[in-house]
Structure 1
């Protein structure tokens, strides 16, 4: 795979990174990868999605006409380039510390006909965040298409990663009487192929209705600080042959099982409040 990363020469500013993730809860880098990189990623996801839909437990519904599929790192051609991108590394080291671990890779697909999701977090806030006011995980998103307003853009309510969830259902789903707070803050994101973003999955967000005739696939890379337990929701695995070819620095970043042959993943990270009818 030819990548040709677009990498600014200046160092990434730790203050800007911390300010964004601890403030709004989201940060992006335009043109991090070439459009060709995103196109090839989209081709790989299309094949994996078709295969996942054919097997029991291969994809989990995230609402009508939406699915999430967890995959293996070696299922896509650009995993190493993504995981070792200087901006990705800088963000992880700045927010999560030098011993961060990659614990998840998968993709979301909001298809034509997908409806607005309820406002939500991806999981309950951990004690590190509730009591320690510290973020111990991040989610990177990489679109495979140019997102347009009618394609069900991702919508986020900046700053809400710190909201008290004591009244939330499952500590994830705020009651509808809270929605006005999120709608007042809401920002829709419309990245282009090659752009990448990172967010706290605790920041209140939702996928919006896809009124177009096009799907909006997006790759997800989940990263934890030491002591976080998000790996328990996932099953990251790589083959010995793949692992041996990885850069040494990346080997130490993977919290995974090393296997002789890849095992089929039965999707485990279900989000009950998003199972809104047939996906």
Structure 2
């Protein structure tokens, strides 16, 4: 089998000129480990409100065809509009979130996705995967062109099916990967040896390259583990075409200019419920 791994010695970490210690640490973390986090970036009250908004959006999505998409047994993904989340502005305008986006993706980054995953009771191990094929810019020039931010709506416990990530694998070439996203099972022992389980608490936030190999694990509890997803692109990354996020004109006009500058989504008079189209077929049946 072709060796798909790259050594970190081959990766140049593009720390911006004049970067302070926090910026250097964020860029280095994403280019090496592939995932970073900020503990207690938000209050527990913010996270409790997030849970309420996710629960409302989830029930609405389940009430109509294609409102939610399966990501494995008892596991769903739903996209929503910013106006469905009361704390959206606080999220995208948080200094740490803005710093990470600017430092890694450049000053003209674009917010392209808002959604959430809900691994429910009975969810099984997902296959190891990345969320989309490796872009040519990443393969050739070794540049990250997008980031996924995650904020948990609950305190994560061991039996709730924690998120599991294999650090440094954002650079793995997709040789032998199904759909360039799913590594062969022969590679699983390597990912399991690298694997780190994450136990975020309400108020924590993380940022990762969605190319870093990861999976949701088996939920043995009777509780769901909803987690928010915010997708951000560098200019030209092209992920916006896979999403239908929109804002109303009144909402847009109330935003600070520094946030408007990073919204490339349509401005509409009336929001239309999102029909999910970011389906990942290889996740439908779980690890089996």
* TM-score, length-scaled by structure 2: 0.92
| Cα distance in 2, alignment partners of residues 250 and 28 from structure 1 | 22
Cα drift, residue 74 of structure 1: 0.5
Q: Give the CA RMSD over aligned residues.
A: 0.9
Kept in 2: contact 1:12–1:87 (CA 8 A): no
Residue of structure 2 equivalent to 1:49: 58
Cα drift, residue 12 of structure 1: 6.1
1:120-269 mapped onto 2 (5 Å cutoff): 120-269=129-278
Runs of 5+ in structure 1 lacking a partner? 1-10
Cα–Cα, structure 1 residues 12 and 105, in superposed 2: closer, same or farther, change >3 Å? farther
* TM-score, length-scaled by structure 1: 0.95
SS at match of 1:244: helix
Kept in 2: contact 1:236–1:255 (CA 8 A): no
Tell me the alpha carbon deviations over residues 91-120 of structure 1, each in whole angstroms, 9 at most, x when there is no partner: 000000000000000000000000000000
SS at match of 2:141: coil
| Cα distance in 1, alignment partners of residues 95 and 134 from structure 2 | 28
SS at match of 2:180: coil
- Among candidates 250, 274, 277, match of residue 283 of structure 2: 274
| Cα distance in 2, alignment partners of residues 166 and 263 from structure 1 | 39
SS at match of 1:13: helix
Tell me the alpha carbon deviations over residues 147-175 of structure 1, each in whole angstroms, 9 at most, x when there is no partner: 00000000000000000102100000001
| Cα distance in 1, alignment partners of residues 107 and 223 from structure 2 | 39
Tell me the alpha carbon deviations over residues 200-251 of structure 1, each in whole angstroms, 9 at most, x when there is no partner: 0000000000000110000000000011011011011000011110111101
Cα drift, residue 15 of structure 1: 1.2
Tell me the alpha carbon deviations over residues 104-145 of structure 1, each in whole angstroms, 9 at most, x when there is no partner: 000000000000000000000001100010000000000000
- Among candidates 89, 110, 114, match of residue 119 of structure 2: 110
